[in-house]
Each structure stands twice: as structure tokens, then as C-alpha cells.
Amino acid sequence: MHLFRTMHRVMLFLCVILLAPISQSLAQQDNRIDINSLGQGNFSQVSDKIAKLSRTGDIKLVPVFEALAAGDLYVRKTDKVVFIAKANSNVLTLTDTITGTSAGEGAKADFERIKVNNNLRRAVRTAIGALTLLSPDREVRLRAAYSVFSSPSEDALELLETAIASEEDGPIKSIMKQARAAAILKSDRSLDDKRAAVKTIVERGDRDALSILSAAQGNADGELRKDIDRALEHLHSVQALWDAGQNIWYGLSLGSVLLLAAVGLAITFGVMGIINMAHGEMVMLGAYTTFVVQEVIRSSYPELFDWSLIIALPLAFCITGLIGLSIERGIIRFLYGRPLETLLATWGVSLILQQGVRSIFGPSNREVGNPTWMSGGFEFGGMMLTYNRMWIVIFAAAVFLTLLFVLKRTRFGLQMRAVTQNRKMASSMGIKTPWVDALTFALGSGIAGIAGVALSQIDNVSPNLGQSYIIDSFMVVVFGGVGNLWGTLVGALSLGVVNKLLEPYIGAVLGKILILVLIILFIQRRPRGLFALKGRAVEA
Amino acid sequence: MISAFILKSLDRNISVCIAVLAAVAFIVPALNLLVSTESIFHIPTYAVSLFGKYLTYALLALALDLVWGFCGILSLGHAAFFALGGYAMGMYLVRQIGSRGVYGNPLLPDFMVFLNWKEMPWYWYGFDHFWFAALMILAIPGLLAFVFGWLAFRSRVTGVYLSIITQAMTYALLLAFFRNEMGFGGNNGLTDFKDLLGFNIQSQGMRASLFAASAIALAIALLISSAIVRSKFGKVLVGLRDAESRTRFLGYRPENYKLVTFTISAMMAGIAGALYVPQVGIINPGEFAPANSIEVVIWTAVGGRGTLIGPIIGATLVNFGKSIFTAQFPEIWLFALGALFVATTLFLPKGIVGSFRQMSRSRTTRKRADTPEHLQVDKVGDKGANLPAESLAAE
Amino acid sequence: MNIKACMTGVLLAGLLSATALQGAFAAEDTIKIGILHSLSGTMAISETTLKDAMLMLIDEQNKKGGVLGKKLEAVVVDPASDWPLFAEKARDLIEKDKVAAVFGCWTSVSRKSVLPVFKELDNLLFYPVQYEGEESERNVFYTGAAPNQQAIPAVDYLAENEGVERWVLAGTDYVYPRTTNKILEAYLKAKGVAAEDIMVSYTPFGHKDWQTIVSDIKKFGSAGKKTAVVSTINGDANVPFYKELGNQGVKAEDIPVVAFSVGEEELAGLDTTPLVGHLAAWNYFQSVDTPTNAEFIKTWRAYTKNEKRVTNDPMEAHYIGFNMWVKAVEAAGTTEPDKVIDSIVGVSVPNLSGGYSTMMPNHHITKPVLIGEIQSDGQFETVFKTPGLLVGDEWSDYLPDSKNLISDWRKPMSCGNFNVATGKCGGKGS
């Protein structure tokens, strides 16, 4: 009996080997028909065809699917043959779907693009996942494991089990196991299998686990139901802890945005006493500098795109610094000793700058892209950290420290402090006070400019950009205490964190209102802000 | 006695200005209503409404001048009092719609109907009576100013800190009124008014009357302000503005003086808002926007701070310019407005009226010596109150 | 001397007003058309394009010989995103410039602000933006979508094609999202969606920090049921919202977001690669493949001298509205508003999505509903189109107080809020 079975296997094996070329070409023929049929039918029909194709297990289908998801699959109108194609104005560069070889070019008008929707994209994702589970490339397998995990289905179970058996890489294997567990919960396997699956899933401890188990909760009963209930309770309590951490992180990230927006104002308003209403416009100009830099890069040096922000930083600093310098020389220097009138003049300047930008760049939003190192995010335990927020926190810290260094440790900083503390004395010590004033204002404006570079990553780049930050910036500086950089830091971070801790409970609007009321009450308690300057400092 | 007090408070300029306002209050409506539309003397209705609006702005600017020009309080939140007065009026007007709303609901305003509110919130009670609304127009801004001022002045919040928390106040109110749950119509605000005191709000007669009422309100406010600044009380205010510590050491209690002035000023702003709403036909949270308050400061500065008449002229001119420019040069008017502000600060630092006075004074001082009661104020004032001494003195 | 100051001020004001009034006596052989869109302030970002679109349409019409043998002349004003100023400018346009019709407004509040002016002075307003409904006025023509022409088909599409069972209704806190979400809530509940499967969230205008809300959406979406977000988030706040969505990895395949206020213009400020597959429901997309649309885009780009300029739904609404007005004026033989109001009902003009739109007696128009998915080039790809045209439903059937109301501005009814239950004009008619 045993022998017979072995014989049978050998025979089968031989058959397979012998027939392989024929069956392969047959399969190819089959695939070609199926691939060509992707061009017909509505979304759900196409989605069924994808599932059917993916069951062949033919890894060569992957590029076809990828092209489909990217919208690069076209049907030739005359004979309904499907091609992978790259569009270049009106010409399509065609690639054969099976052989992957070039199939010449065609006019765009002769072809019709196969439309995709989310359903199809999901189907393609699952299909690619299933097809590449056995891929030799580690990265590809990892991605495949994830995509099978994120859309578990009973169909994939056997494939997963094969994959798990041959997988040697630890992390991939555990994801595959989790994917298998998720699929088991959806299947009609035995109770024990399912209870084991629940255990596997709980180990993830994240929101995906929560999602899978909540979905399974509905049609579970008895022991399994109890297991799931317990698991969910556990997951919820874990998640609650992470949520608290997450909120504090959000608060820090909001705080660092506020800090960036306000730190330039802490110089022009805090140190120099100019009620600088054009501060927001400097931030906006910094953002527009980024836009221009990216435009140039996009059209001329696309490979430098990831460097665009780093190129934009010094440029933004110089441009806004120079504009600041000319505003100081042209207008503000006539207004020293009349701080309230600087409000009027800088408000006028801000109107002019806004309308200027509107005339040059148009009133609508401009696209500023995120470089790859600022896109996306990563999971940190149960928290989601996005790269752009993380870099902004780091950048804000760097700007703050640099500024502190300039103020406290350089000659210019010393002169600046001397002039603001006692102008006459500084002047008689031989400091060129007008020059120091101009440079200080330029420094504050320049810093607003580089803040604009950072803020362009998370916000609209439009002529109204600055307006939306100006009030918050003034609040931060005043709350922290005019004339004190540390006050600005503490003010920005505490406002950010309090805001984000309140938001989940009372919503964004009420949270903000409450913050404003708190600021008003706080100023009653400490009429000179958090870190009040002692002694005879400049009064504004 | 009162008339004596009032008479004492009038100088020639103020009385002329009040006379002009009173005359305008009668002549303009007359030219609008009585003169035939063919005549060149006819003033079209839209111009009446437009200038009525400017007059309410002028009243708001006057209110600000009282606290900023004479008391050294730079309020960046005066639009809040204006808007609150406007809302009080708006609520009365909404109640007058009755069942003429689109849903024909006799009890609830339209916006409550489509948000599925079942009954009117308690704070809407009473607003169907004009006397109650009129009371609230004064009471709500007054009360807010009183509480706010009591807190702020008592703890000696001054200068820019005070300015920024007034801004925080108006910003918080802006956000609050934007919320639909507040029951003030959210972003759409209150609109579609029909009647005021039983008369159609869109009728020519009503528009002319509202214009007259605005002009008279402005004249009365000018009279009261003038009385305040020329009284002993007013002299203390100026003292506070220019040297608060010194005044305090002389035995005055700055917080009380400031509080009274701030509250009166807020009430004036409330009246301005209440007159503004029926003339423009809408009140919406946008009126609380911090930028609006800054604009009021700018009108006052353009006209001349601390002159009482200056803000009236400044508000009228700037807004008139805005009306013209937005129609004639829609693409570039902001450049013109911005340039105007910059130019005013650089070349007319005392505003239009202040500069006029300076010019006239430099001519007259050459002829005769200064009057003995002329107040000499320390030029090195704190809190950035660096107005020239001559414009402070109420002559 | 102070008297002089006072008097000079008054005199100056008087003089200026006199010069302003002279504008009224301009050349009479043209027909004037008012354009009332904000060119500065917060709304300039959306409205400036519409001003340009109107100027182009007027220009094109003049090339064809104008209307009634007269040239058209555009009168552009800037209401500066300031709502009372909208009313003032509307009055200016009608009384001073004597325009024959006004094309303008974007926000609901600006429309509400100008409404009394149009009623009082009896002129025409063509309003091109999707709005919350619950209004029908004799002097206003709503060429944008009513909630049933945008929101309900979108929700149906998601439920049927994507199997969505759990809904996040996220919007900016103002009247359009509030009303639309009220209607949607009632609609979803009528379709059997449980109350705990609906999450409603409102944010202020220009909200920037979406971290908390996006993570709330993710949390809400991890309950094991297919979740979608219906977004009525307004203009400016969308860019940071979508950036946060992309960065936090909310993929359209997992939690699709369908938006009613995000068009090509808004996407122009975004890198859409991480957003592919998120949806929008409109009555027009630039990507619609019809000859009229291709022609329109070509003219638009030539007019603005910008090869990359995008078109959007409100522009199509102005295109339709303007052509309807021209046709109605030609049918009436006059630009007199009363005559035009009578002649415009029933007028059909081609829309850009390959069909005809008709002005209905309720002053709303018929439109197809298109649902599109965002592509990586910032365009939409239509994935669904209603088979027929939908009539704008001014009084929603899903709100208790408006379900009995209808509107018909034809004579003899001429009523914007006729109550079919009581048989009277004037709402509830108690």
C-alpha cells in the first residue's frame, strides 16, 4: 500500500516534469485569455477574475497586477488585447503582459485604460500578497505577509500554511502565523484552532488585533466568545495606555509647531518690542521659497527632490531675512520708542505682502511635496509616529538651541542683548545700535522664514498661511513672557500638550476656547507671563 | 446743573462736530426721502445705508479712542463688544420674524428648526421685547468689559499683555459663536430680518431713520466722551495713561478709573454694533475676528488718537476708501490700504486730526503764549503711550 | 482750526461719494453682469477662479456677438470674504451699476447675507456651489448641487460597492456640513445603520492639527466592520487633513474618505500619491471625457494662459448657469429680471459631462452625480455615474420640518416653501 502510494507519487512527479513545458505554455495561454479578459466587465467581475488568476500561483502575474493597480494596464480597442503601458503624452510604450518584453508603441487613442477602484486595488493587493508569499526576496515576502494579514480570507489558508512551513525568517514567520490565525477566525475550522488563533492575534497587542477580534466577536459563541471578550478587554486596556502616550506626543508635536511659528516673533516682538504683525507673512514667504525651490528642482533636477528642504532652508533664511532687513531700514527704524505704531505699520506691510504673493503666485494652494524621508510613519508600540511630525519636533529643537546659542554665546548676541537692555549705554560703549537693530529684526524674520519651510510640510501653502499663525504666535510669546526665549519654549510646549490632552474629551473647538480662557486667567495671576523679566527691561 | 456740566465739557471743535452730526442726522434722511430721485440733491438709499454703517464704525472707533487715547489701554478686542451688541440686536430682530421664516415655525428661528432643536434655549427668552434687547445691548458688553477689566486692571495687567489678552478674549468668543451648539446660528449667524419696532427693516424710511439714529448716537457718544475727558476724572485718566505709577502714588486708584472707562467704552461699542446690524442685515461670528479689532485700532490711529474727532474721521475715511477701492480696483486695493497704513504711521504719526492740530498750534504759539491751564505731560510716558503732550490736553 | 479738520473730513467724504456716484452713468449700450466673488481674504483661494471663469464665459459670449445684439460687460467687485460687505457690494452692483444679473457667492453665509438685497431690489443671483439646501428663493438660481445630488449617491455607492457598514461623518462646523450630516444620519438610520456605527465630528474653520482626529478615525475603524469617512471638511483644512491621512497610513483600500468639498483646485496643493483611491462626489470632474469638456478646458487654458490650470465643479455650475441665463434672456427678449425669472424655468443647456441640465421650477437644476477616485496626478477618475439626471431637492425629505415642503416658482403658485400637507404657502403655516 505504502509502496503503491510512493509509486503513484513518483509517477505523478514524472508526469509533471514531462508535461511541464506543455502545461506551462497551456497555462500561459490560459493566463493570457484571463489577463485579456481583465479589460472587460465591471469592477466586481474584474475583481473575481483577479482572484481566479491569483489561484494559478503564477508569480509572473505580479507585474500585471502591479500595473493594474497603478493604472498602467491598457486594452487595445481593436482586438481587446491587454498591455502594460507607460503613457507619454499621446504615445504609449507597450509591454507584453506574459513575456514582459517590449511590444512596441501605440497611439493613446487606440487604447483604453482599465479603470481601477478601491475594490480592485484591494483584490490586487491580496492577490499579489498570495502570489509573492513564497518569493525568494525577503522584502517582498514581508510585504506579502502584511497584505495577506490585512485582508485575511479562507482561500489563503493552505498557501499560508505552505509558506509558514518553508519560512525561516523569524519576523516574517510570525506575521504569517498571525495572518493564518486571522484567516482561521474567518474560516470554519475547529474550535481549538480558533482559540489558538485568538491567542496568536492577542500577542500583536495593537489596533489591527483589536479590529480582527472585534470582527470575530459577532459570530463567536461559548468558550471562544469568552476568549475573545477577555482578549478584547486586555487589548483595550493596553491601547488606552498607548493612547495617553500618543496624546502627549501629539501635544509635543503641536507644541513644536507653535514654537517654530513663535520663535521668530520672540525675537522681533519679545526682544525688540515691535508688535510685528507681518511675522506671519515671513512664515508664508518661507513656505513659498520652499515651493519655488521644489518647482525648480522638479523641472530641472528631479533627482535632488529629497534635498529640496535642505536647499530651501538657507534660501528662506536669507530671503526673509533680507526682506526683514529692508522693512526695518525702510519703516520700523523710524518708529522706535513708539511700539504701538509698529502694529499699524507692520499690519500695512502684511497686507501688502499678502496681496503681493497673491498677485505673483495666485490665490490658490501651491503644492509643496514631502520628501521621502518626511512621508509616512512608523509604529512605535501602539503609537503611530509620522516622520514629518517627528522631524518638525527635531527641527524646532535645533532652531531653538541654535538661537539660544547665538543669543548667549556670540558677540552679536551680546550686542543684541546690550542694545535691548540699555540702548544709550550700549551706544556709548561703541555698539552701532541701528545696525544691531536691523540685524536683530532680520534674524527674527529669517527664523520665521525657516519656520515656514518646516510648516509647508504640514500645512497649506497659500497667501493666508501667515494669518493663521499670527494670533497663536502672539499668545505663545505673551504667555511665556515677553523677552524670554525659555518662556516661549515652555509656553509653546505646554499650550500644545494641554490642547491635545483636552481635545479627545471636549473636542477641538472647545479645547481651544478653554486654552484661551486659561491664558486670560493666567495673565491675571502673572501679569508678565510665565517667565517674567526682572528689573528694568524694555516695556512694550 | 447737568446742563452746566455738559456745557463745560464742550469745546468749540467738539460742539461744531456735534452740530454737524445733528445736522447730518436730519438733512441726509430728508434729502433721501423728500427730494425726488431725479434731483441732483437726492441721496440714494444705498448711500444712506452705507454712510449709516460708517457712522456705526465711527462710534466704535470713538469708543476705542476713549480707552486707548485717554486711558492707555490698547484694546485689541473692541470688536467683541461691538459684535455682542450686534448679536443682542440680531436676536431681537430674529424674534420679530415670528412665523414668517421659511419653515413658518412661530416659535423657533429657522436655523434652530433645521438643526432639529425642539425648544428655544433659555438665553433667548426676553429678546422678543425691544426694551429687553435694548437693555442687553448695553448690559452684555458692559458686563463682559466689567468682569474682564476687573480681573485685568486689579492684577495690573498692562501694555501689550493687556492687548494680547483682549485679543484672546475676542478670539475665544469668535470660536464659541462659530459653534452651532451655542444657539446663535453658527457661521451663518443671524439674518433674514424683517421688522424693527413694527416697521419693515428694508423700507426707505427705516433706513433713513437708522441713519439718523446712528448719527444722533454718535453725537451723544461724542458729548459723553468729551464730558468725561474734560472732567477731573478725565484728567486723572490722562495722568494714568502717561505715568501710571506716578498717578497711583498721588493716591488715585488706577483700576477703578480704568474699569469705569473700559465699561463705558464697551457699552458704546455695543450700541454701535446694535445700530450696525439692522443696516447691514446680518450678524455673524466673523465680526469677532481679531483682525476686525485691529482695523478699529487702525481707523483710530489714522484719524488721530486721543482727539475724539479723529477716530470719527479715520473710521469714515478708511471705510469709505475701502468701499471705493474694492469696487474700482478689486485686484490691487489691498496694496493701497497697506500703503495707507504705512504712510500714516511714517508721515502722519499723530493721525489726520493730530497733525492738523500740530500745524495750527505751531502757528498760534508763535502769536500768543500757551494758555495757563494747558496740561504739561511728561513726554517719556510708559507703556508706549508716546503721544505728544499737546494732543492730550483737552483744551 | 479743528473745525476745519472736522469740516474737511466731511467735505472730502462728500466729494469722494460724488465721484463714486458718477460710475452710474456709464455707457448704456452694454448689458452689465455683476461678478461677486472674494478676491482677497480667506475665500479668495476658491473664489478667484470663479471670477476668472466668469470673465472667460462673458468674453466667449461676446465673441459670439453678445446677447440681444448687445455686448456683455463684466463688473468685478471684491467683497473680500467679509459677509456684510457682500450685501453692500450686491447693493452697489444692482443700484449703482444696474447689472442685469449677478454671478457669485461661495459660502452659505455670503448667500444669506445678500439674499435680502436681491429680494428687495428684484435681481438675479446665480449661486454655483454645492450647498445644504433648505432654501428656495425667487431671485436665486442654485446651479450647484443640493445634498441629494452629492451626498446621498456617494453614501449609496460606498455601501453597495465597498460594503461600508460604519460611518464617520467629519465636517467643518458650519451650516453645510451640519445639514448634510443631519440628512445623512437620518438616511443611514433609515437604511438600518445602528447609531453606534455612526461617528460625527466637527472641527473649526481652517483646522490644522488633525493628528487626534485621524487617530480617532483609525480607532473607530478598528471595530471589525468596513469603515468609511464622509468628509464635509471645508477648503483650507483639507490639505493638512489629507497630509495627515497619508502619513498615518490611512489607505483608501482600508478606510476610504469621500469628500464633498474637495475638487481639482484643492488637490492642486497636494501630492496625491498617498491619497490614490480616496473619493469625491461631484457633478463634474475635469477628467470627464466629452468633446464639450475638452473644448471648455482648452478655452480655459488659453484664456488663463496657463497650460496646467485645472477646472472644477463650481466652474461647470457657472458655465451652466451663464448659458441658461443667456438662453432665458434671448427667449424673453429682455434682461428684465422678472421676465427672465419666468422664462428661465425649463431652459435646458448642455453640461460638460455629456448631457443636458435643465432649470427646474424650484430654481435648482438637474445634474448627473459622478463619483471619482483621486489619482496620482491630482485628477479624479470616475468610478460611478448615476444613470439618469437628478433634480436638486431643495427641501430634504430626511428632515422632519422640511419633508412636507416643495417649491415651485412658476405662476400661479410662485412659492418657495409650499406645504403639501396644509396646502398653503409659507412653511408650516400654523
Q: What is the DSSP string of C252-276?
A: TTTS-EEESS--HHHHTTS--GGGT
- C209: closest chain A residue by CA: A254
Q: Above 80 in pLDDT, residue B370?
A: no
B171 is written with which cell numbers? 478670539
Query: B34 versus C364: which is more confidently predicted?
Result: C364
Spatial CA neighbour of B166 closest among B81, B75, B84, B255: B75
Mean pLDDT, rounded, for C29-38: 92
Q: Above 50 in pLDDT, residue C32?
A: yes
Tell me what percent of the residues of chain C surpass a pLDDT of 90.
50
Cβ-based contacts of C417 with chain B (< 8 Å): 102-104
pLDDT for A174 equals 82
* pLDDT bracket for residue B391 (50, 70, 90): very low
pLDDT for A422 equals 82
pLDDT for C24 equals 43
Helix (H) or strand (E) segment spanning residue C231: strand C227-232
Q: Above 50 in pLDDT, residue A344?
A: yes
Query: Which site among B53, B282, B325 would you substitute to test the C interface, given the most C Cβ atoms closer than 10 Å to its Cβ?
Result: B282
pLDDT for C338 equals 92
Q: 3-state SS of A390-449? A: HHHHHHHHHHHHHHHHHHHHCHHHHHHHHHHHCHHHHHHCCCCHHHHHHHHHHHHHHHHH
pLDDT for C16 equals 44
Q: Does C55 touch chain B (CB under 8 A)?
A: no
Query: Which site among C243, C250, C254, C305 would you substitute to test the A interface, given the most A Cβ atoms closer than 10 Å to its Cβ?
Result: C243
Q: Does A335 touch chain B (CB under 8 A)?
A: yes
Helix axes A222-265, A207-217, angle to 10 degrees: 150
Mean pLDDT, rounded, for A273-300: 92
* pLDDT tens-digit readout, B91-141: 999 988 888 888 878 888 888 887 778 888 889 988 889 999 999 999 999
Question: DSSP assignment of A94-137, as one string?
Answer: EEETTT--EEEEEEGGGEEEPP--HHHHHHHHHHHHHHHTT-S-
Q: Above 50 in pLDDT, residue A376?
A: yes
Kindly report which listed range (A357-366, A477-486, B381-390) carries the lowest average pLDDT score.
B381-390
pLDDT for B376 equals 38
* pLDDT tens-digit readout, B176-195: 998 888 888 888 889 888 88
Q: Does C87 touch chain B (CB under 8 A)?
A: yes
Under an 8 A CB cutoff, do C162 and A119 touch? yes
- A112: closest chain C residue by CA: C289
Distance CA B18, CA B35 (A): 25
Find the CB nearest B175 among C80, C91, C204. C204
Number of inter-chain CB pairs under 8 A, A vs B: 130
Mean pLDDT, rounded, for B153-165: 86
Mean pLDDT, rounded, for A94-108: 80
Under an 8 A CB cutoff, do B171 and A344 touch? no
- Predicted-complex ipTM score: 0.85
Spatial CA neighbour of A468 closest among B283, C235, B186: C235
* pLDDT bracket for residue B346 (50, 70, 90): confident
- B379: closest chain A residue by CA: A337
Mean pLDDT, rounded, for A446-456: 94
Q: What is the mean pLDDT of chain C?
A: 87
B28 is written with which cell numbers? 441726509
CA distance B256 to chain C (A): 32
Query: C407 versus A14: which is more confidently predicted?
Result: C407
* Contact residues for C201 (Cβ-Cβ < 8 A; gap 6+): A507, C168, C169, C170, C171, C213, C216
B89 is written with which cell numbers? 440686536
Query: B393 versus B142: which is more confidently predicted?
Result: B142
Mean pLDDT, rounded, for B167-174: 93
Under an 8 A CB cutoff, do B384 and A331 touch? no
Mean pLDDT, rounded, for A126-130: 82
Cβ-based contacts of C269 with chain A (< 8 Å): 364-368, 460-462
Distance CA A285, CA A320 (A): 7
Subunits touching A (CB < 8 Å, at least 3 pairs)?
A: B, C
Under an 8 A CB cutoff, do A512 and B291 touch? no
* pLDDT tens-digit readout, C243-301: 888 888 888 888 999 999 888 888 887 888 888 889 999 999 999 989 999 999 999 99
- List all residues of chain A from 336 to 395 with a beta carbon under 8 Å from chain C: 354-355, 358, 362-370, 375-377, 384, 386-389
CA distance B347 to chain A (A): 10
Under an 8 A CB cutoff, do A516 and B172 touch? yes
Q: Does B35 touch chain A (CB under 8 A)?
A: no
Spatial CA neighbour of A265 closest among A512, A480, A455: A480
CA distance C381 to chain B (A): 33
Q: Does C182 touch chain B (CB under 8 A)?
A: yes
Under an 8 A CB cutoff, do C224 and A218 touch? yes
* pLDDT bracket for residue C11 (50, 70, 90): very low
Cβ-based contacts of A503 with chain C (< 8 Å): 212
Tell me what percent of the residues of chain A surpass a pLDDT of 90.
26
What are the residue ranges spanned by the domains of chain B? 2-366
* Contact residues for C102 (Cβ-Cβ < 8 A; gap 6+): C33, C34, C35, C36, C90, C93, C94, C118, C123, C124, C125, C126
Q: Does C180 touch chain B (CB under 8 A)?
A: no
Under an 8 A CB cutoff, do B169 and A275 touch? no
Find the CB nearest B114 among C16, C96, C402. C402
CA dihedral defined by A320, A321, A327, A329, rounded to 10 degrees? Answer: -160
Q: Does C394 touch chain B (CB under 8 A)?
A: no
Number of inter-chain CB pairs under 8 A, B vs C: 195
Please give the DSSP secondary-structure letter assigned to residue A533.
Answer: P
CA distance A46 to chain C (A): 13
Query: B214 versus C429: which is more confidently predicted?
Result: B214
* pLDDT tens-digit readout, A15-70: 445 554 555 555 566 677 777 777 777 788 888 888 888 777 777 788 888 888 88
3-class DSSP state for residue A55?
helix
Find the CB nearest B327 among C92, C107, C400. C92
Q: Does A121 touch chain C (CB under 8 A)?
A: yes
* pLDDT bracket for residue B170 (50, 70, 90): very high
- List all residues of chain A from 498 to 537 with a beta carbon under 8 Å from chain B: 509-510, 512-513, 516-517, 519-521, 523-525, 527-529
Please give the DSSP secondary-structure letter assigned to residue C129.
Answer: S
Query: A468 versus B268: which is more confidently predicted?
Result: B268
Under an 8 A CB cutoff, do A512 and B175 touch? yes
Under an 8 A CB cutoff, do A118 and C252 touch? yes
Distance CA B218, CA B211 (A): 11
Total Cβ atoms within 10 A of residue A239: 19
Find the CB nearest B334 among A351, A471, A540. A351
* pLDDT bracket for residue B366 (50, 70, 90): low
Find the CB nearest B353 among C5, C87, C108. C5
Amino acid identity, position B290: P
CA dihedral defined by B364, B369, B375, B381, rounded to 10 degrees? Answer: 70
Find the CB nearest B187 among C3, C84, C175. C175
Sign (positive or negative) of CA dihedral B318, B322, B328, B333:
positive
Under an 8 A CB cutoff, do A508 and C203 touch? yes
Kindly report which listed range (A22-26, A41-45, B229-233, B343-347) carries the lowest average pLDDT score.
A22-26
Question: DSSP assignment of C175-209, as one string?
Answer: HHHHHHHHHHHHHHHHTT--GGGEEEEEE-TT---
Under an 8 A CB cutoff, do A482 and B382 touch? no
- List all residues of chain A from 73 to 112 with a beta carbon under 8 Å from chain C: none
Cβ-based contacts of C44 with chain A (< 8 Å): 358, 363, 463-464
3-class DSSP state for residue C278?
coil
Cβ-based contacts of C239 with chain A (< 8 Å): 365, 459-460
* pLDDT bracket for residue B384 (50, 70, 90): very low
Cβ-based contacts of C213 with chain A (< 8 Å): 508
CA distance C286 to chain A (A): 16
Distance CA A371, CA A462 (A): 19
Distance CA A484, CA C274 (A): 41
Amino acid identity, position C388: G
pLDDT for A12 equals 52
* pLDDT tens-digit readout, C123-177: 999 999 999 888 899 999 999 999 899 989 999 999 988 889 999 999 988 888 8
What pairs with residue C349 in β-bridges?
C357
Distance CA C225, CA C198 (A): 12
Query: B59 versus A192: which is more confidently predicted?
Result: B59
- C133: closest chain B residue by CA: B114
* pLDDT bracket for residue B372 (50, 70, 90): very low
pLDDT for A296 equals 93
Kindly report which listed range (C73-87, C256-270, C325-339) carries the lowest average pLDDT score.
C256-270
- List all residues of chain C from 2 to 41 with a beta carbon under 8 Å from chain B: 2-7, 9-10, 12-13, 16-17, 20-21, 23, 39-40
pLDDT for C154 equals 92
Q: Above 50 in pLDDT, residue A413?
A: yes
Amino acid identity, position A326: S
pLDDT for A379 equals 82
Task: Give phi and psi for A284, each to the nearest 5.
Answer: -60, -45
Mean pLDDT, rounded, for A491-497: 93
Q: Above 80 in pLDDT, residue A100?
A: no
Is residue B41 classed exposed, middle or buried when 0-12, 13-18 and 19+ CB atoms within 10 A define those classes?
exposed
C-alpha pair distances (Å), B371 with each of A284, B388, B390: 53, 17, 11
Query: Which site among B150, B154, B160, B299 would you substitute to test the A interface, given the most A Cβ atoms closer than 10 Å to its Cβ?
Result: B160
DSSP3 helix / strand / coil % (chain A, rounded to 5): 75, 5, 20
Under an 8 A CB cutoff, do B104 and C205 touch? no
